[in-house]
Amino acid sequence: AITRCIPALHWLPRYRPRSSLPRDLAAGLIVGVMLVPQGMAYALLAALPPVYGLYSAFYPALVYFFFGTSRHISVGPFAVLSMMTGEVLEREVPDDFFLMISNRTNASMELDVESRDAARVRLATSLACLTGLIQLVLWLLRFGFVSAYLCEPLVRGFTTAAAVHVFASQLKHVLGVHIGRHTGPLAALQVLFEAWTPKKPTYTSQQLVVAATGASAALDLEHSHGVQVVGTIPMGLALPTVPHICPSACTLADAFAIAVVGYSVVVSLGKMFAQKHGYAVDGMQELFAMGMANVCSSFFHVFPVSCSMSRTLLQESSGARSQVSITHQPSTLPLGNSLHLYLLKI
């Protein structure tokens, strides 16, 4: 019973380092390099500061290492779940709640970004814990039987739809325009129409952004000339805290949807690659593994996670043979004092 709940106790003693470790090490390094910028981008997609994407890339993968049965999926931030989380955070903790009178002009209103981000982080960790608890309850109710109906055409259709929504959500950052958040049927088409409607850009061209970033790092514009920059990324690990769970009916419904979508992606991709490489993935155990990953990681400021399609494909094509590849990913935790120094160190 213990080895069924913790599969690592079964397969890890049989692991062959000489034949498998080099491939797992290479796959882990390749995926880890991709995971650093992707984790920060997905945090922004979830309406959170970038560092929380790094936390979400680190802790859930370690938990899944012990409880998961797939050898190839990459557990961590996922674009669709990040968008679903961002919708909840922007709805429950909108910017309007944190507008305050500017100390400089005493007439205009400015946004208290620090207080807003702190409130959104609390809600995001609560949502992750609630998502994991729902997945554990579904595991107790033997909900894993639905994995038998997640066939390959369904996974491909879901992947295509997810790609369209992710593409639409990133247009405002690529084109430098302001686009309102749309929900409901045909929301992606509304975003596309609004993005290509002629309007005045709110940002300069991408080339100027790159040049300004380089100039800021080289000339120390923040301290020498008072130029505002992106800011610092906290160093090291944040202290663990107990997530505050006091959900409303609406938040509970969102957590249930996130739990089901996250599990569906994990078991679908897991079974796809298991069939390709000739091993078995236990749908019930995957539900338990994701529940544990979300619940345990929620104590470390993580938002809801699943497995990433792009990273999973990269990990499989890089030659990964077991979950050991997860533990060999380079650290995704911030080590520098500023964003440009951190990226240079990576």
Query: Tokens for 43?
Result: 């945090």
- Tens-place pLDDT, residues 229-262: 656 667 777 788 888 887 777 888 999 999 988 9
Joined together, the tokens standing for residue 239 give: 């202290």
User: For position 275, what pLDDT does the model report?
Assistant: 83
User: What is the pLDDT, as a whole number, of residue 221?
Assistant: 72
Per-residue pLDDT at 204: 40
Per-residue CA distances from 61 to 305, 325, 326 (Å): 10, 10, 6
Strand partners, 152: none
Model confidence, pTM = 0.73
Name residue, tokens 């301290």: 223
Which positions of the chain have pLDDT values less than 70? 102-108, 146-152, 155, 158-159, 162-163, 165-166, 169-188, 190-210, 227-233, 325-346
Token pair of 129 as six digits: 């814990």
Given CA atoms 285, 287, 288, 293 in this order, what sign does their dihedral have?
Answer: positive
Six-digit token pair at 258?
A: 């996130």
pLDDT for res 131: 95
**What are the angstrom distances between the C-alpha of 214 and each of 33, 206, 343?**
21, 13, 12
What local confidence, expressed as pLDDT, does residue 182 receive? 58
Q: pLDDT for 50-72, tens place per residue?
A: 889 989 998 999 999 999 988 88
Report pLDDT for 305. Answer: 93
Find the angle CA(85)-CA(91)-CA(93) to the nearest 5 degrees.
90
Q: What per-residue confidence (pLDDT) applies to 342?
A: 37
Predicted pLDDT at 270: 85
How many CA atoms, within 13 angstroms, populate the side-chain half-sphere of residue 96?
3
Region for residue 227 given its phi and psi (left: phi exceeds 0; alpha: psi -120 to 50; beta: otherwise): beta
